[in-house]
């Protein structure tokens, strides 16, 4: 039995508790034998209020040993209780894994557990995190990061991806996939996946430009000329180009390239596709064209990113 201790504090973000579902489903998928036992921990024990206004019942910090400790986060940066930080410092040597969800990384950093390590947190707080803890190697564009026995994740939903990765580490990829399916997740997002989405970053202001982008995402294998996109938006090509740039800050060609790069990267993370298959499926046509696009977007060729995902 692996004991999972989930650490909360007043006003913690309640969505972080979603990670419990991954461990609960893993118990169901492991052949009927409970693998994980979950405890909610806090400084004083008893009810702890969440950000949603209701409380959860907890057990006070004590001398129990845990296989995994996970500090939940919040939507704002608040001072972590000194007792929580001291507990992490003292519990860490006897704990196999210490993890954080979202701004829970601030507690790990305050305890000195992230010094010299790679770590992530929610992108909105990453700059403040780096300034407050310069000895941490912050990577603000990652869903989660595993550096030795310390794991950190980005926003609240990314905590579920981290939990699935812990399940995969313990019980194997097949059970992790079954858990993801039971949770109605398309697939477990790899830790190296970006926190950002091209569609979200473009933020079109009108339905016409949104319709063109949706059409593009659904037809990446096609040439996707300006004429095609203008037709989907019900605008003339000249008017479409002008409106598209005004709303997104990008040319149509650049936006389409970014959509293709994002789609290609997701394919690499989701399975062991060949470079030729990825290039064809995402509309690049050939590997060299895809390689140049990846260099522009990430400063690295796709082979480097694919190897990192497989590792």
At residue 262, the pLDDT reads 85
Angle at 144 between CA 304 and CA 310, to 5 degrees: 35
Same domain, 152 and 216: no
The first and second tokens of residue 113, run together, are: 């557990």
At residue 181, the pLDDT reads 87
Whether residue 187 is contained in a domain is answered as no
Q: Please identify which residue in the block is written with the tokens 């006003």.
A: 11
Same domain, 115 and 238: no
Number of domains the chain is built from: 2
**DSSP 8-state symbol, 99:** E
Same domain, 20 and 62: yes
Same domain, 147 and 247: no
Q: Select from 181, 170, 173 the least CA-distant residue to 25.
A: 181
Which of 120, 147, 182 is the C-terminal boundary of a domain? Answer: 182
At residue 186, the pLDDT reads 52
At residue 101, the pLDDT reads 95
At residue 197, the pLDDT reads 57
> Which residues have C-beta within 8 Å of that of residue 125, sequence separation ≥ 6?
77, 103, 106
Question: Is pTM, for the whole model, over 0.75?
Answer: no
Same domain, 153 and 207: no
Whether residue 190 is contained in a domain is answered as no
CATH number at residue 72: 3.40.50.880
Which of 147, 182, 217 is the C-terminal boundary of a domain? Answer: 182
**CA dist list (Å): 280 to 4, 304, 306:** 44, 19, 16
Q: What is the pLDDT along the chain (311 residues), one digit of tens a residue?
A: 999 999 999 999 999 999 999 999 999 998 767 899 999 999 999 999 999 999 999 999 999 999 999 999 998 888 889 999 999 999 988 999 999 999 999 999 999 999 999 999 998 898 899 999 999 999 877 888 999 999 999 888 889 999 999 999 999 988 998 998 888 875 555 545 555 556 556 677 888 888 998 899 899 999 999 999 999 999 999 999 999 999 888 899 999 998 998 888 888 876 678 899 999 999 998 899 999 988 887 777 888 777 766 65
CATH number at residue 290: 1.10.10.60
The first and second tokens of residue 245, run together, are: 């740039």
Q: Residue 4 in contact with residue 67, Cβ under 8 Å?
A: yes
How far apart (Å, rounded) are the C-alpha atoms in residues 273 and 270?
Answer: 9
Give the domain range for residue 225.
Answer: 198-310
The first and second tokens of residue 142, run together, are: 């990652």
Same domain, 20 and 115: yes
Same domain, 9 and 70: yes
Whether residue 188 is contained in a domain is answered as no
Same domain, 168 and 202: no
Catalytic positions are: 102
The first and second tokens of residue 141, run together, are: 């564009």
At residue 199, the pLDDT reads 58
Same domain, 306 and 207: yes
């Amino acid at each position: 039995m692996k004991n999972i201790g989930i650490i909360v504090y007043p006003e913690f973000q309640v969505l972080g508790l979603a990670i419990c579902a991954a461990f609960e489903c893993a118990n169901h998928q492991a052949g009927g034998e409970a693998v994980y036992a979950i405890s909610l921990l806090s400084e004083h024990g008893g009810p702890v209020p969440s950000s949603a206004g209701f409380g959860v019942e907890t057990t006070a910090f004590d001398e129990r040993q845990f296989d995994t400790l996970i500090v939940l986060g919040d939507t704002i940066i608040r001072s972590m209780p000194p007792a929580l930080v001291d507990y992490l410092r003292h519990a860490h040597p006897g704990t196999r894994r210490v993890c954080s969800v979202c701004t829970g990384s601030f507690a790990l950093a305050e305890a000195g557990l992230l010094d010299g390590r790679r770590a992530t947190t929610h992108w909105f707080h990453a700059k403040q995190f780096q300034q407050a803890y310069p000895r941490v190697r912050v990577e603000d564009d990652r869903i989660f990061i595993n550096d030795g026995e310390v794991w950190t994740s980005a926003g609240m939903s990314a905590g579920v991806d981290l939990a699935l990765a812990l399940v995969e580490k313990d019980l194997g990829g097949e059970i992790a996939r079954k858990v993801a399916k039971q949770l109605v997740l398309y697939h477990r997002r790899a830790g190296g996946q970006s926190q950002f989405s091209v569609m979200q970053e473009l933020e079109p202001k009108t339905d016409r430009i949104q319709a063109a982008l949706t059409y593009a995402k659904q037809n990446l294998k096609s040439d996707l000329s300006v004429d095609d996109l203008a037709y989907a938006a019900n605008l003339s090509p000249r008017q479409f180009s002008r409106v598209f740039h005004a709303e997104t800050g990008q040319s149509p060609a650049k936006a389409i390239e970014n959509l293709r790069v994002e789609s290609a990267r997701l394919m690499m993370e989701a399975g062991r596709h060949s470079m030729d298959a990825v290039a064809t499926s995402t509309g690049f046509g050939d590997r060299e064209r895809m390689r140049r696009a990846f260099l522009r977007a990430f400063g690295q060729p796709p082979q480097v990113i694919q190897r990192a995902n497989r590792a």
